[in-house]
Amino acid sequence: MPSHTPSLHSAPDSNPPPTSLTHALPPSHTLPPPQYRHVLSPFAEYMVQTFVPLWMAPNLITLLGLIFPLISLGIFAWHSPHFKTEPPAWTFFFNAFALFAYQTLDNMDGKQARRTQSSNALGMVFDHGCDAINAGIGAINLLVVLGIVSSGEWDAFLVLSAFASPFVPFYVATWEEYYTGALVLPIINGPAEGVLMGVFISLVSGFLGPAW
């Protein structure tokens, strides 16, 4: 899934893109969406201030966030290796938790970087890299959560298509960020509402089964 500006832990004045167009963007276009500013960001700030020690590296928080979707993928692969069998209900609940944990930790890493004054360009690259990996993993997990399966010769095509589909908007958003110096997201976006929608769908599948 695409990453969002507040979670990046790159120094704001380090190595700006050579053709930065940030000055041409209206101020309102460079602000994070309101639901991030008023709900998700304060929650992540609270978690950092309350539970994260100063010695913890921001990149470690980023990596921990990626581990949860990977564990969920492994659980789904064990219970439904060919997308043919329905996993137990608890796997869907765990996927909901994994998605929310990923989103929260992804929001926390940048706050920890600013808290410890360890912002750098490597942190931004590492954050984007983990987000890129999770974009494909999340799409595959969603196939299981929604009970979407194919038959025979189309199995590989379905999985590859689901894995590749999130990378197009991710690439375009990152490309735009390189030239503008800001990652501009709409009010409704993947890192916020997209992940929360995945959490909701996972919970529904846990209660009702993926056939709903």
Kindly name the residue from 4, 38, 79, 128 that is annotated as catalytic.
128
Distance CA 26, CA 129 (A): 28
Q: Is 128 a catalytic residue?
A: yes
Question: Which residues carry out catalysis?
Answer: 128
